[in-house]
Amino acid sequence: MTDSDTITRNAKSNLAFTLVDLPEEKRIHMAQFYAFCRIVDDVVDEPGMSPEERHAALDRWAALITRQIAPEPGLEQEVYTLVTDLQLDTAPMLELIDGCRSDIQHTQPETREDLLAYAYKVAACVGITSASVMGAGPEAKAYAIALGNALQLVNILRDVAEDCRKHGRFYLPKADMELFGVTHEDIRQQRYNYRVRQLLAYEAALAEKYFGEAEECYQALSVEDRNALIPAQAMSLIYHTVLEKMQADEYRVFERRYSVNNFHKLWFLLRARLGSVEFPSVAEWGFFKNSPDNRKDTPS
C-alpha cells in the first residue's frame, strides 16, 4: 500500500469516502492529492512542532511541487509525480499552503471578505485542483469556488467550539460577531443563547447561498464535466445535510458534532450519480439583498 493510500484510508474523511466511485487511475491520483492536502493541514495542527518547524515543512512542500527540490521516496515522490504527469497548475496548491500557513499564527477575519479569502485558499483551491485531477475542464472553476465556500462555512459552523478549545481560533468574522453582540468569551464559555444562535443562522444562510450558486454552476457544465465531478456533488449533499441537521437542531454546536453516517454517504453518492441533486437557486436568497452585509462575497 502506498503512503497516499494509507493516509487516505486512515483519515476516514467525507472526501476520501466519495473517491470509491472514481475509476482506478483517477482514484489513485485523487488519493495522492488528498494525502498532500491532509499532510499540509497536519503540519499546522499536529502538536509537537515549533512555528519555525511548521513554516519550514510548508516551505519544503512548496519547493517540491514547484520542482525546486528533488522528492524523497514515499508521499513526496507520489505528489511530485502527480504534479508532473498531470501537468497540474500548482498555483492553487501554493494558495492552499499559504492558507494553512496563516493558521500557524491565526488572526480572526475582520469581515466576510476576509473569511472568504481564507476559504478560497483552504477550500476552493482544493476544489479547483480536485476538479482538474478528476478530469473536469477549466469551466468547473466557478463551481469549485462556490462549493469550496459552502463546505468551508459548514466546517466553521460545525467546529466553532473545537477550533476555540483546541487551537484558540475564531473563524467567524469579527464584524458579524459584533453585529449580533457575540463576544469571544461567549464562545470560550460555550454560552448557548439567542445571540449566538442568530449569528450561526446568519452564517448558515451564507452557506446556503453558496450551495445554491454551486448547483447552478454545476448544471451549466457539460455532461462530461458533471460526470467527472460526481464525487464533489456527493460532498455537496453530505455537507448540506450536516448544515440541515444544525439548522433543525438550532445550532447546538457546543453540545455535539454533526455528521452523516456511512449508509447515508453511500446513498448520497448514488444520488449524485443519478443526478438528483436539488438546491434552492441563488435568486431565492433575497435575504442577502437586504442584509447588513451586502458586500461582494466571492474572492477574486
170-223 tens-digit pLDDT: 999 999 999 999 999 999 999 999 999 999 999 999 999 999 999 999 999 999
Please give the tally of structural domains in the chain: 1
pLDDT of residue 278: 52
pLDDT of residue 291: 45
In the numeric block, which cell numbers belong to residue 156?
466553521
pTM for this model (two decimals): 0.88
Q: How far apart are CA 284 and CA 220, in angstroms?
A: 18
Note whether residue 208 is domain-resident: yes
Note whether residue 286 is domain-resident: yes
Note whether residue 296 is domain-resident: no
Q: How far apart are CA 130 and CA 119, in angstroms?
A: 15
Asked whether 241 and 211 are in contact (CB, 8 A), the reply is no
Angle between the 24-45 and 3-11 helix axes, to the nearest 10 degrees? 70
Note whether residue 297 is domain-resident: no
Quote the domain boundaries for residue 253.
3-290
Note whether residue 204 is domain-resident: yes
**Nearest in space to 177 (alpha carbons), one of 193, 195, 159, 150:** 195
**Structure letter (DSSP) for residue 120:** I
**Nearest in space to 239 (alpha carbons), one of 268, 213, 282:** 268
pLDDT in tens, 128-144: 999 999 999 999 999 99
The CATH number covering residue 87 comes to 1.10.600.10
pLDDT of residue 12: 67
**Cα radius of gyration (the chain):** 19
Note whether residue 234 is domain-resident: yes
Note whether residue 34 is domain-resident: yes
Q: In angstroms, what CA-CA distances link 11 with 5, 41, 165?
A: 10, 12, 22
Note whether residue 299 is domain-resident: no
Residues of the chain with pLDDT under 70: 11-12, 276-300
